A and B are shown apart, each in its own frame.
Chain A
Amino acid sequence: MITLTDFLVVSAALFCTGLFIILSKRNAIQILIGIELMLNAANLNLVAFGRYDKINNGGQIFVLFSITLAAATTAVALAIILNVYKRYKTIDPNKIDELKD
């Protein structure tokens, strides 16, 4: 029997990996990947707990929403990254530290 704990541990591992990617990478696209990974970890949690909600099915439905949002986020983020690259000729977030245009 696979328990909730197992899922949560896996989810935590994925989350921390995503966290590490976000913190350590010098590339905006990889950071985006890290964010997606963390979202997935969250999704996994939702799904795992959603098993105990047969009637409302809240967990799964919110995962659907989450996936949709992730898609939208990714689209917008990629557009932003491309624009940033056009302007600064880099996508290292550490080098883009000016607020003015």
Chain B
Amino acid sequence: MTMEQVLFYLMAGIAVGSALYVAATKNLVRSVFMFFVTLMAVAGLFVPCMADFVAITQVVIYVGGILVLIIFAFMLSGRETLANLQQQSKFISISKVPAFLLAGLFFIVLLNIILKGNVNGLVWTEKAVLTSNVITAKDTTIDNIGVNLMGNYLLPFEAISILLMMALVGAAHLSRKERGV
């Protein structure tokens, strides 16, 4: 068992465990912070995939942006909101059983597909290995990403930027204080 594997299983364990805790906990604030852990762990999982830039982005945007935004959202909206939001039903309740069953069955189905799909022996991955189109640990991916982003994927990039702006404007509009109409 190599170091790499140890780290992977560690990260995977943290990610799944924290995610389960998020799902299980009654406390909203706690679940948000636990989600933070999950996101970090997922960012950690990105690294063995030779996606260090994506991992950084994950940390920056998710942790630095989205989570802060979530926390801000209900921190800013006052204590009553928070108190209301924290009302949670019991840990195990009848209403959760179908959801749990569904999720479990889904997991089984997914597992089944993954195992049957013979992911490790895919034709195109093997071709990529043969043509050494595989990112190795020694490669730097950042410049390649930059070139591709400004080259191959310029159109989606621009579209995303416009979308982002629209979302920004929309969010600002939605969250503004209503004038007494």
Q: Footprint of B on A, CB under 8 Å? A: 1-10, 12-21, 23-24, 26-27, 29-30, 32-34, 36-37, 40, 43-44, 47-57, 59-61, 63-65, 67-76, 78-83, 85-86, 89-91
Least CB distance from B147 to A in Å reads: 9
Name which residue of chain A comes closest to B5, CB basis.
A2
Instruction: For the complex, give the distance between the alpha carbons of A80 and B171 in Å.
Output: 8
Instruction: Report which of B16, B74, B102 forms a contact with A29, defined as CB distance below 8 A.
Output: B74
**Residues of B close to A51: CB separation below 8 A:** 49-51, 134-135
Instruction: Report which of B46, B89, B111 forms a contact with A47, defined as CB distance below 8 A.
Output: B46
A16 touches B106 (CB 8 A): yes
- Given the interface pairs A67-B58, A83-B175, A85-B77, the reply to whether A20 lies near B35 with Cβ below 8 Å is no
- Given the interface pairs A2-B8, A36-B66, A47-B54, the reply to whether A20 lies near B100 with Cβ below 8 Å is yes
- Interface of A: prevailing SS: helix
Q: Footprint of A on B, CB under 8 Å? A: 2, 4-5, 8, 12, 15-16, 19-20, 22-23, 28, 31-32, 35, 38-39, 42, 45-46, 48-51, 53-54, 57-58, 61-62, 65-66, 69-70, 73-74, 77, 81, 84-85, 88-89, 95-96, 98-100, 102-104, 106-107, 110-111, 114-115, 119-120, 122, 124-125, 128-129, 132-135, 139, 141, 144-145, 148-149, 152-153, 156-157, 160, 163-164, 167-168, 170-175, 178
- Given the interface pairs A2-B5, A17-B16, the reply to whether A72 lies near B70 with Cβ below 8 Å is no
- Interface of B: prevailing SS: helix
Name which residue of chain B comes closest to A48, CB basis.
B49
Least CB distance from A49 to B in Å reads: 8
**Residues of A close to B115: CB separation below 8 A:** 5
A56 touches B148 (CB 8 A): yes
**Residues of B close to A30: CB separation below 8 A:** 22, 28, 31
A9 touches B111 (CB 8 A): yes
Question: Which of A3, A54, A67 is packed against the most chain B CB atoms within 10 Å?
Answer: A54
**Residues of B close to A4: CB separation below 8 A:** 119-120, 122, 125
Instruction: For the complex, give the distance between the alpha carbons of A6 and B32 in Å.
Output: 26
- Given the interface pairs A3-B120, A53-B128, the reply to whether A70 lies near B145 with Cβ below 8 Å is no
Instruction: For the complex, give the distance between the alpha carbons of A26 and B133 in Å.
Output: 46
